[in-house]
Amino acid sequence: MRYQRMLVPALALVLVVVPALSARAQGEEVPRGPTFAARALQALIDGIQFGVIIAITSVGLSLIFGTIHLINFAHGEFVTIGATFAFFLNVSAAGPGWHLIPAALAAVVFGALLGGAVDRGIWRPLRARGTGLINMFIVTIGLSLLLRHVVLVLYGTRPASYAQYDIQSTIDLGPAGITPRDLTVTLLAVLVLLGVAALLQKTRIGTAVRAVSANRDLAEASGIDVQRVVLFVWMLGGGLAALGGVFFGLVEIVTWDMGFKLLLLMFAGIILGGLGSAYGAMVGSLVIGVVAQMSTLWFPVDLQYAWALLVLILVLLVRPQGILGRAERVG
Amino acid sequence: MDFSAIVSDALRSGIGPIAAVYALAAMGLNLHFGYTGLLNFGQVGFMLVGGYGLAITVSTYDGPMWLGVLGGIACAIVLALLLGLPTLRLRADYLAITTIAAGETLRLFYRSSWAEPVTGGVFGLQRFANDFYALSPIDPGTYGVWLVRFSSRDLWVMIVGWALVLVVGGLLALLIHSPWGRVIRSIREDEVAARSLGKNVYAYKMQSLVLGGVIGAVAGMVQAIQVQSVNPDNYDPGVTFFLYTLLVLGGAGRILGPVVGAILFWFVLSFLDSALRQAIDAEYISPDLISTSEVGAVRFALVGVALILLVAFRPQGILGSRKEMLLSGR
pLDDT tens across B313-325, in order? Answer: 888 888 877 666 6
- What pLDDT does residue A23 have? 46
Closest CA to A267 of B308, B82, B26, B97: B97
Q: How far is B307 from chain A (nearest CA, A)?
A: 5
Q: What is the pTM of this model?
A: 0.84
- What pLDDT does residue B323 have? 67
Closest CA to A166 of A278, A256, A74, A251: A251
- What pLDDT does residue B176 have? 93
**Set of chain B residues whose Cβ sits within 8 Å of the Cβ of A137:** 39, 93, 96, 329
Going by C-beta distance under 8 Å and a sequence separation of 6 or more, which residues neighbour residue B179? none
pLDDT tens across B13-65, in order? Answer: 888 899 999 999 999 999 999 999 898 998 999 999 999 999 998 888 888 88
Contact B54, B223 (CB under 8 A): no
Question: How many Cβ atoms from other residues are within 10 Å of residue B216's Cβ?
Answer: 32
pLDDT tens across A70-123, in order? Answer: 889 999 999 999 999 999 998 877 778 788 889 999 999 999 999 999 999 999
Interface test mutation site (partner A, options B113, B191, B311, B313, max chain A beta carbons within 10 A): B311
Q: How far is A278 from chain B (nearest CA, A)?
A: 18
Mean pLDDT of chain B: 86
Please, what's the largest Cα pairwise distance for chain A?
Answer: 66
Q: What sign does the CA torsion over A248, A250, A252, A258 have?
A: positive
Those residues of chain A whose CB sits closer than 8 Å to some CB in chain B are: 69, 71, 122, 126, 129, 131-135, 137-139, 141-150, 152-153, 264, 267-268, 271, 299-300, 302-303, 305-306, 309-310, 312-313, 316-317, 320, 330-331
Helix (H, G, I), strand (E, B) or coil at A124: helix
Going by C-beta distance under 8 Å and a sequence separation of 6 or more, which residues neighbour residue A310? A15, B105
**Set of chain A residues whose Cβ sits within 8 Å of the Cβ of B92:** 134
Residue B168 pLDDT > 60: yes
Judged by CB atoms closer than 8 Å, whether chains meet at A330 and B104 is answered as no
- What pLDDT does residue A24 have? 47
A231 or A14, greater pLDDT:
A231
Any alpha helices (H) in chain B, and if so which ranges? 3-15, 17-29, 43-55, 65-87, 92-111, 116-119, 130-134, 152-176, 179-189, 191-196, 201-227, 238-250, 257-281, 295-313
The residue count of chain A comes to 331
| Residue of A135, A147, A320 lying closest to B90 (CB–CB) | A320
Judged by CB atoms closer than 8 Å, whether chains meet at A153 and B238 is answered as no
Where b means 16+ CB within 10 Å and e means fewer, A143-178 reads bbbbbbbbbbbebbeeeebbeebeeeeeeeeeebbb
Percent of chain B with pLDDT over 70: 95
